[in-house]
Amino acid sequence: MGSLYDFHIHTHYLRCANETMTVPAIARRCEALGLQTIAITDHLNGPEYLDHHLLIKDDLAALDTSLEVVFGVEVNVTDPATGAVSISPADIERAGFEIVIGGVHSCYYDRPDRRAIIELQQRLMLQVIANPLVDVLVHPWWFPGREMAPGGPMEWFQDLSELPDDYPRELGEAAVAHNTAIEANGSAIWTNAHYSQAFKDEYADYLAAIADTGARISIASDAHDIGHLPSVHLVEEVLAQRGVSGDRLWRPRAM
């Protein structure tokens, strides 16, 4: 059985997703996929974009669907020195966001300094997990295509062999301590052509090791096109093969 959940979906309003990603179209496609609960989580890179999120909220209020729909937001690390993210308590209160997902969206390097990049990523992810505003750490070890492309600072990152063995346990234990979920992301990882099959296989083991600490795993498509939404089923199938069962999956506290 495929996933009943998808807690990371974008819309056309922030111009990150394409024109297929209207709120009604997302709901219809998720209903057809047999989902039960979804979260709309478009990007907020600064308070000046809050008005776009209010348009999403209006669409959700007018939506006629059998789905349970959560109004959320995705935030980014804005300061690699401190791990600060692009949202404040005032932003959350003004918009009425029900969940906040967030994480690292760059390696912050223009050259392939492998050890420095790996250590920085782990530190920033731990800081995001510890941030009381954030409910879910998004796509660990994802990097944008421009950084993964030939000549980019992450071109070398085709497996997880250079990650220290204790990194999954450290991340999972921090997630348990702070009641933060760790995301398993379909579009960013499993259907992303920048990552090799070897990387994807090792990544499934990595998430299973995190789940073994007691941490919860959040299932997500990270859809930017209506055709990306089915990837949530692939994600849960891969995790189930690694022994990550339904009782390890995260749900928003309100559910």
pLDDT score of 84 more than 50: yes
Please state, in angstroms and as integers, the Cα–Cα distance from residue 153 to each residue in 80, 118, 147, following that order. 17, 12, 6
CA torsion, ordered 104, 110, 111, 116, to nearest 10 deg = -40
Query: φ, ψ for residue 251 (rounded to 5)?
Result: -135, 145
Per-residue pLDDT, 254: 52
pLDDT score of 1 more than 90: no
Summarize pLDDT for 112-170 with one digit per residue, the tens. 999 999 999 999 999 999 999 999 999 999 999 999 999 999 999 999 999 999 999 99
- pTM over cut 0.75: yes
**Which pLDDT band holds residue 89 (cuts at 50, 70, 90)?**
very high
Highest averaged pLDDT of the listed ranges 11-20, 44-53, 170-179: 170-179
Summarize pLDDT for 222-246 with one digit per residue, the tens. 999 999 999 999 999 999 999 998 8
Q: Please tell me the class of the 5-248 domain.
A: alpha beta
